[in-house]
Chains A and B, each alone.
Chain A
């Protein structure tokens, strides 16, 4: 007799096994292995580096680590929220299924699918031993690390998926916690060390000792440190270390916590897909549409207000920039480098923070600008306006850009603070063709990335941004490696040719995606 708790789990497993997505994912993984393997072997042959097996393993493991983190933001974080967004959780709860059954069915089945995706790689990764430079123990230890990390990520995302009403919020919190978990211990250790050197704490006793021990546990639990240790020459084990044990224990605790709060968080069925009111501001008695906005400019206004967050969203983004600049100053002060807080320091911090936040906002908006219309089934109403599809799309994009590009004011302010540095930077670029080529390729790649994100958001329900990051990263690495091999014997003309070809590939891909977005938009409107 089947246990009721396992009924949904079993059904989900069957569906996952049969789903075309999983089949394509497995195929994609095999292609990925090939994409990683071929350039490494070729580069090793031409003598660009030794120990190709170790390089192959490292490449595979770091890629998997990135994929697992990205999966946490989309695949796992939507486990329960997707039911909330579709108002289906209430129906599930009305059946005989108890919270454990729902959690197992919605999340653990996905975990099993992802575990299988990891395990299917193992026979191929064993080729690393043949390539040389790595032992079986290192392969076992690295995949053990990944499996434990996957378990932790799945249950962390599950907890946030239970707690929050929509996938976006759950994914955002998963990302923040994972980032803190993966790299936060470096900062924490630095701060404690600084406090110790200034005499505020003693790392040998009391609070100092407790902090040092906790940070040490934290460091050992993070997969990045463990993997670095595994990849060192002469790694002698153990295959299952503290990281694996701690990640598994943490994962179990997070699952239990998700179970514990499940009833409390899902008792009332709320409209989970409702947009955030704080983002769109208060509804007023009068329409917020400025009277002069007539025609397609109204479309830009709508996207400026509801996709980009409007004036309030813009203020919030400026607030984040200011906060990060303040944080950089605080860290500089705390680490004892207070004397470096100069005009040059503030200028460069402003430039970099503005650029990074602008890029992040643009990527997020690329994932939402068309997706939201599909989600709300409003595309058919928009498309029947007397404008062409490209005009509609450009107006929408213009609206979102209007809500983000003002952030570049931070860049301008930074440039005003350090005009000589900025001038030197552009002078270097313009005087050196290779530098100019690299700079242009970087910009072209970012434009391609935005197009890829927007296109993927039109064909998949969620996870367009993580997938775009993955595709861009893998595709970019592969092409760069191939081009490096092709031009390895090219002497001084090699880097220039690589830049030119990469730029060309970016432009062609962008044009193709640009066209595909228009076609897909029209199709999506007709499919509503």
Chain B
């Protein structure tokens, strides 16, 4: 099996512009099959544009986009069969009942009546909406309408789910329940590509993440990779039993150490070092040799919130006038396995 068969989404050097606004500038990343992939970025970063291209609603102006190895332009019908797109707004026929709405989409996807009856029952059970199947959609609360939107996406059993802000506007209980449903869908083997601003929930949910800012990828890779500031640099916090200035000097002398700082009044030192040149054992040995008594040590990892703040720029992106043939500015090369 080739490597591309394991990838659900492959985006390479994707560019897209709206009149005067360059929305995407050479976006490249990949999503592994069966994973939950978070897609984050500030407003106007290009997330929804990317999602719409993946959902075949927009044609990419340049670059290639493949879903399950299928080109989203040339093979759009098959991409649509394998994909379920939930936009960031309610896309509901409010004059229909819940059952009717799902039945309609089931029929439109070509399911026969027995299959439709089974699938509609299943998705209603999964989204816990079985009791409201005969209600008119307009009578449902926002959270319930969101569940129906998700149920609609699942009707044709797509292998890839594209979810654009699925939890926006939901109360805490509804959000937690939605996240549980998404975990359940992953257990069922689906790949989930989820765009959201609720970073704490994404951090818990996702296996991998892509951070987009001003139309360019800032990071694409695993969550664990993101948690380290830089793949080649490690940060550790060493705690001593008492203040020991000789230890600080000894740590500085270790080859590969970039800096040693004292973050608090407590007898603690933050040590940054090159992973290739040294390791934690050498640091601990140097400290112990200097006579210090070590009471604790831990690697400092960043949470998604911090990573997002570090990687994205503040403020609203300006309108960028770009000629069609302009070469986009150089971008960090995304790495599926680690930080860029």
**16 new A-B contacts at CB < 8 Å, known A287-B104, A385-B80:** A274-B95, A274-B138, A275-B94, A275-B95, A277-B95, A283-B134, A284-B134, A288-B100, A289-B100, A301-B107, A377-B87, A381-B87, A382-B108, A385-B105, A386-B77, A528-B89
* CB of B145 closer than 8 Å to a CB of A: no
* CB of A24 closer than 8 Å to a CB of B: no
Residue pair B95, A306 in contact (C-beta under 8 Å) = yes
Query: Beyond A385-B80, A385-B109, A525-B57, is A289–B104 a contact (Cβ under 8 Å)?
Result: yes
Residue pair A294, B107 in contact (C-beta under 8 Å) = yes
Q: Pick from A295, A383, A388, A522: contact of B107, CB below 8 A.
A: A295
* CB of B28 closer than 8 Å to a CB of A: no
Q: Least Cβ distance of B166 to chain A in Å?
A: 15
* CB of B97 closer than 8 Å to a CB of A: yes
Contact with B along A311-337 (1 / 0, CB 8 A): 000000000000000000000000000
Which residues of A line the B interface, CB within 8 A?
A: 271, 274-275, 277, 280, 283-289, 291-299, 301-302, 306, 376-378, 380-388, 522, 525-526, 528
Residue pair B107, A384 in contact (C-beta under 8 Å) = no
* CB of B15 closer than 8 Å to a CB of A: no
Q: Which residues of B contact A383 (CB under 8 A)?
A: 56-57
Q: Least Cβ distance of B300 to chain A in Å?
A: 43
* CB of B110 closer than 8 Å to a CB of A: yes
Residue pair A302, B109 in contact (C-beta under 8 Å) = no
Residue pair A380, B138 in contact (C-beta under 8 Å) = no
Query: Beyond A274-B138, A294-B111, A298-B107, is A287–B97 a contact (Cβ under 8 Å)?
Result: yes
In the complex, what distance in Å separates the CA atom of A113 from the CA atom of B92? 37
In the complex, what distance in Å separates the CA atom of A396 from the CA atom of B152? 20
Q: Least Cβ distance of B152 to chain A in Å?
A: 7
19 of the cross-chain contacts (CB-CB < 8 Å) are: A284-B134, A287-B103, A293-B107, A294-B107, A294-B111, A298-B104, A298-B108, A301-B107, A376-B92, A377-B89, A377-B90, A377-B91, A380-B57, A380-B87, A381-B85, A381-B105, A381-B152, A385-B109, A386-B109
Q: Least Cβ distance of B297 to chain A in Å?
A: 51
Residue pair B103, A384 in contact (C-beta under 8 Å) = no
Most B Cβ at <10 Å: residue of A280, A283, A291: A283
Residue pair B91, A378 in contact (C-beta under 8 Å) = yes
Most A Cβ at <10 Å: residue of B77, B90, B91: B91
In the complex, what distance in Å separates the CA atom of A292 from the CA atom of B52? 32
Q: Which residues of A contact B96 (CB under 8 A)?
A: 306
Question: For residue A298, which residue of chain B has the nearest CB?
Answer: B107
Residue pair A528, B91 in contact (C-beta under 8 Å) = yes
Question: For residue B138, which residue of chain A has the nearest CB?
Answer: A274
Residue pair A526, B57 in contact (C-beta under 8 Å) = yes
Residue pair A386, B81 in contact (C-beta under 8 Å) = yes
Question: For residue B53, which residue of chain A has the nearest CB?
Answer: A526
Q: Least Cβ distance of A290 to chain B in Å?
A: 9
In the complex, what distance in Å separates the CA atom of A296 from the CA atom of B105? 10
Query: Beyond A294-B110, A296-B108, A526-B58, is A378–B83 a contact (Cβ under 8 Å)?
Result: no
Which B residues from 253 to 299 make CB contacts under 8 A with A? none
Question: For residue B80, which residue of chain A has the nearest CB?
Answer: A386
Residue pair A386, B93 in contact (C-beta under 8 Å) = no
Question: For residue A379, which residue of chain B has the nearest CB?
Answer: B91
* CB of B11 closer than 8 Å to a CB of A: no
| Main SS at interface, chain A | loop
Residue pair A376, B56 in contact (C-beta under 8 Å) = no
In the complex, what distance in Å separates the CA atom of A277 from the CA atom of B109? 27
Q: Which residues of B contact A299 (CB under 8 A)?
A: 108
Q: Least Cβ distance of A249 to chain B in Å?
A: 42
Residue pair B94, A376 in contact (C-beta under 8 Å) = yes
Residue pair A274, B94 in contact (C-beta under 8 Å) = yes
* CB of B126 closer than 8 Å to a CB of A: no
* CB of B170 closer than 8 Å to a CB of A: no
Residue pair A306, B93 in contact (C-beta under 8 Å) = yes
Q: Least Cβ distance of B56 to chain A in Å?
A: 7
Q: Which residues of B contact A298 (CB under 8 A)?
A: 104, 107-108
Q: Which residues of B contact A289 (CB under 8 A)?
A: 100, 103-104, 107
Q: Which residues of B contact A295 (CB under 8 A)?
A: 107-108, 110
Question: For residue A296, which residue of chain B has the nearest CB?
Answer: B108
In the complex, what distance in Å separates the CA atom of A292 from the CA atom of B111? 10
Q: Pick from A287, A522, A528: contact of B99, CB below 8 A.
A: A287
Q: Which residues of A contact B78 (CB under 8 A)?
A: 386
* CB of B171 closer than 8 Å to a CB of A: no
Q: Least Cβ distance of A173 to chain B in Å?
A: 22
* CB of B113 closer than 8 Å to a CB of A: yes
Q: Least Cβ distance of B32 to chain A in Å?
A: 23
Residue pair B91, A271 in contact (C-beta under 8 Å) = no
